[in-house]
Amino acid sequence: GNGNSVGVFLQDTQNITVKNLTIKGFYRGIWFTWGMALNQGAKNNIIINNTITNNTYGINCALFTSNNTITENTITGNECGIYISYSPYNVLRGNRLSENLYNLWVDCLLSHQGYGFINDIDSSNTVDGKPVYYWVGETNKTVPSDAGYVALIKCWGITVEGLTLSHNGQGVLLVETNNSKVTQNNITQNNYGVSLFGMYSPCT
């Protein structure tokens, strides 16, 4: 690409596999989005083993898309590595995000209910070599000290302490999470430091 347009455009698509590509120099490397079809939103697609670099957005899961699988991709040197905006129930495994201005960003500005943030993102995903902890429905736990990104969705009694968190959309994202503690962390160079979000309330 020349800095504009989209490398792979998945609008209202289903059951498409995108694999083994090098995607470089676009505004959006891979873009899931919705259209005017009756069954709106890209769903049940697989993005696997791609190298995505030097785009504005590496992978963008946008409005009303869901249930996509993003696995074993190398995503480096983009402005934003993976950007998820009101796109729930996606599965992320083994993605390596590094040297992006913002590695992982789960947007809250357009989501007004907690389910919009429910994704299956485990610690096999890394940001600058550190695991992602994206917890849904966990209780009475402490986030491990090696965390590179922390999201707590519908959690209770979680401790986030003594972490160094940088270069993501949020250092710590809390959605409908209660009775939890975020203390003595070094949170720098994120778009938001700590983002707190409750049902039907704006993001802060």
Rg (CA), the chain: 16
The predicted pLDDT at position 204 comes to: 41
The predicted pLDDT at position 202 comes to: 45
How far, in whole angstroms, is CA 82 from its chain's centroid?
Answer: 5
Nearest Cα to 73, choosing from 102, 99, 101, 47? 47
> Among all chains, which residue has been given the structure tokens 């960003």?
105
The predicted pLDDT at position 115 comes to: 78
Q: Residue ranges of the chain with pLDDT lower than 70?
A: 36-39, 108-113, 199-204
| This prediction's pTM | 0.93
The predicted pLDDT at position 34 comes to: 84
The predicted pLDDT at position 55 comes to: 98
The predicted pLDDT at position 108 comes to: 63
Beta strand segments in 5-116, E: 6-11, 17-19, 22-24, 28-33, 46-48, 51-53, 57-61, 69-71, 74-76, 80-85, 91-93, 96-98, 102-107
The predicted pLDDT at position 110 comes to: 55
